[in-house]
Amino acid sequence: MTVEEIKDRYSMKDILAMYGLKEGRGGFISCPFHKGDREPSLKVYQKDFYCFGCGASGDIFTFVQMMDGLMGMNQEGMAPSQLYAQLVERLDYLE
């Protein structure tokens, strides 16, 4: 699968559901990337997200990377193709 095929296949709502998260009123969830949310601050769009509390943002790949603690792996010597393969494997596993 290519990056574009994955993005076409999965929406942010699909990814949230894979992690047991459900968007609430207005498409917001409590941000899983910072503590202290009194009210949901992460806005979920069709193909991406943005947190008005901590500034976290990105597409489905970024969300999976952040949720699984894979951010920064590319800077530690992992080739982009290896990181991509790991993310595809994770998305397949979550189904």
Residues 70 and 83: beta-carbon distance below 8 Å: yes
Averaged confidence pLDDT in the chain: 82
The C-alpha atoms of residue 16 and residue 48 are separated, in whole angstroms, by 11
Q: Please tell me the total number of residues recorded for the chain in this structure.
A: 95
% of the chain surpassing 70 pLDDT: 75
71-80 pLDDT, tens digit per residue, is: 655 545 555 5
pLDDT of residue 74: 53
29: DSSP letter: E
What pLDDT does residue 4 have?
81
Model confidence pLDDT, tens digit, residues 31-55:
999 998 889 999 999 999 999 999 9
Buried b (16+ CB within 10 A) or exposed e, 54-88: eebeebbbbbbbebeebeeeeeeeeeeeeebebbb
When computed from its CA atoms, the radius of gyration of the chain, rounded to whole angstroms, is 13
